[in-house]
Chains A and B, each alone.
Chain A
């Protein structure tokens, strides 16, 4: 299919989310749409899928202008979407998910599952997408679930597949497998629109790259372009992709976890016997595909989740099962995974959010009353030091951009003297500029001789920050490796294959 977007413009009030965007995807082409969060990629996809009506511009399929008013329309016209958050019913089988909405039926409105299964088997053979049609989706690994999403789109006779940030939840091996699938689909004549902000993947798989920034197409690039060229087009200025670190000179153990067991909401052991230690002047990066117990581990450290057994010690002091307040008072800084839920009170001002962890302490409070002057002065200072873009300290934190919200948290946690910092997915959803900034702050913290644990599911981040890398799989540490270890090896660890290494 040849898809052409001509001059698509979409405004929300005074904000122009898409400004005269024109893109052409040729048949059999993998066209990459590269842009940061908030650059207007999702708006464009919603326009393409009929969820939003563009203010200007038109959509042409195979040269003919078309009106797409709902997602059913889009599907009928041969557009298939593989969503970032899979649109699969977890308790249904693969077959039920694939046929949903397009079921073959026999008499009495019954679904003809036999025919459906045959169709799926046929389709999966045709495109080399093997999956058991009778498997229940929630029991499949994420990579296979994505395959089901792709099958679902193909079963609706999609001629153009849109993959929206498809690699965010995958292991490196699964990413490689996905790239292979994309290439073979393109070879079979399908067009692919690949939306991402990851430079490596774009270079690996794209035929053409279109870069958008602030709702505008800022240029196209060949996959041979260097990563830093692509990054600077995406951000609009030169960015440093690597973080400069002082030579590694660790001190003694600051933080130690021993045989930790933590249960999740369902009462199952999410952290199952984890032991780790972090030394002064060291960043220990904890890698792993999301959902392998990292969240529960960090919550347990921060006092937000009960520890079943094992111990957590900070500077020789046992902080196991201490309350969050006690843990904070012991000198722990915490940058939580979900900043809007656990990191900030969205309905409060920037100034108040900046003293959330020390509201009762002098100088911010005295004999039970708050010292608002001190809070204000503190906020003004941090806003300056940490370059938080806000109109005033009294601005509600909810009106800040994601990057600036994260800066509020980083400023709050790093501005007091810490014994230890735990940061969970510290750059998730941030633009490249903010990522650069947050990384620099954490490395500075380490360069000053402090210890930190950084949990991330982004391999790039883990490799950039970690002095040592621990990999977590299924509630356990599957290996602790040096940052010079190959991506493939870390990828294997992320799938639970235990790696033994001999240190030379």
Chain B
């Protein structure tokens, strides 16, 4: 054979890496939503229309923050500014194609849209002394939903990081809320309720783990079965026990524990530092799970099991032990979330979690299977959920049912993977068989 010389490898690209088409679609959707907001809610409102914001919480219970006056804004220009931010984000995503936080930007646009809608819906023909938008109340109310979602998505992170899909979060919420209400009604103690909620949620986690790990039943199916079972069982028990004996479902709202001084800060104080014990517990849990998963030996084992169980097994890690532990702990966290939900509503009602568990699961995906990401995602979803419920009390020319679909539409977009590329743990939902 002839002389062989080694030349530099040619770089002629037959195909430049194609821009992410789906990202562009999402960017266009973001810009269109912004444009609609601009035209319909912005330019569509009269030049004299005003929206008034109030910052004092209605519930002044034990810790009223420093007083802050109300703020009256021209509806048109406020909405225009919000809409321009939305369009700007859409354009930015379209042009720059950022690698990360596309989902986050999308979430911000969704929340801004709801805010613009709120401003528009609460407008008055001229400057008005009566304010219809109480920002502090909206944020406080959202925080309760956000908190419940964080418990759920944290539960999802615990389970899926070890490779088990926990779609039963909704069922664990229901169980936690049901038994939480009974315990609170009889003992008037939310601490006991939290413990019972954790136990019940943990037991459901154990059931999931047992069927999925011992008998390799499809995890999604087991999860759905648990949700269906819990919603039917709670309805039945509600009818048979709670209705004839209402003293077992008096429930109660969890008392707020105000942190001295900090709770006096306007807006932030009531939202972050005058909350129920569940809120603070949630913060501790986020920090704890984050630390455990990413700093400790236990966390390294969990992530190894979730990514490549065979590799973990060859170095002597017991795959099923790690998975049992995590699914039970995850179930316990979701169970506490159910109690927290009950404690923010007052008592148990059948079906009132209305799919929050699935939204929590979406928040976990949105947050890329990280506790910190789950927090950010839960905030976006939680605020959307709360706003879409709040808007009902305003004069909005859209059916209440359509409005309430909003968070679920975002959920579908997220879960379908329309935005960005998220990578689940390698062995997520894959049963492990020792060979």
Contact = CB atoms under 8 A, between A and B. Distances in A.
B315 A89 contact: no
B115 to A, nearest CB: 35
B6 interface: yes
B296 A498 contact: no
Contacts of B69: none
Interface string A472-497: 00001010011011000100100011
Contacts of A481: 1
Contacts of A429: none
A90 B308 contact: yes
Interface string B12-44: 111101000000000000000000000000000
Contacts of A71: 313-316
A500 B15 contact: no
Given A496-B9, A498-B9, A108 B4 contact: no
Contacts of B314: 71, 81, 83, 87
Nearest to B10: A498
B315 A102 contact: yes
Contacts of B301: 100-101
A114 to B, nearest CB: 13
Interface stretch (A265-273, A359-367, A369-377, A443-451): A265-273
Contacts of B303: 89, 92
A482 B1 contact: yes
A109 B297 contact: yes
A481 B5 CA distance: 13
B298 A109 contact: yes
How large, as a class, is the contact surface on chain A? 35 or more
Contacts of A309: 15
Given A71-B316, A81-B314, A83-B314, A269 B15 contact: yes
B100 to A, nearest CB: 16
B255 interface: no
Nearest to A504: B2
Interface in A331-367: none
Contacts of A476: 14
B138 interface: no
Contacts of B13: 272-273
A156 B315 CA distance: 10
A72 B313 CA distance: 9
Contacts of B1: 481-482, 484-485, 501
Contacts of A75: 315-316
Interface in A107-161: 108-111, 152, 156
Contacts of B2: 501-504
A392 interface: no
B295 A259 contact: no
Contacts of B10: 498
B8 to A, nearest CB: 7
Contact of B315 (A92, A101, A108, A496): A101
A46 to B, nearest CB: 9
Contacts of A58: none
Contact of A72 (B17, B307, B316): B316
Interface of A: 51, 70-72, 75, 81, 83, 86-92, 96-97, 99-103, 105, 108-111, 152, 156, 259, 261, 268-269, 272-273, 308-309, 476, 478, 481-482, 484-485, 489, 492, 496-504
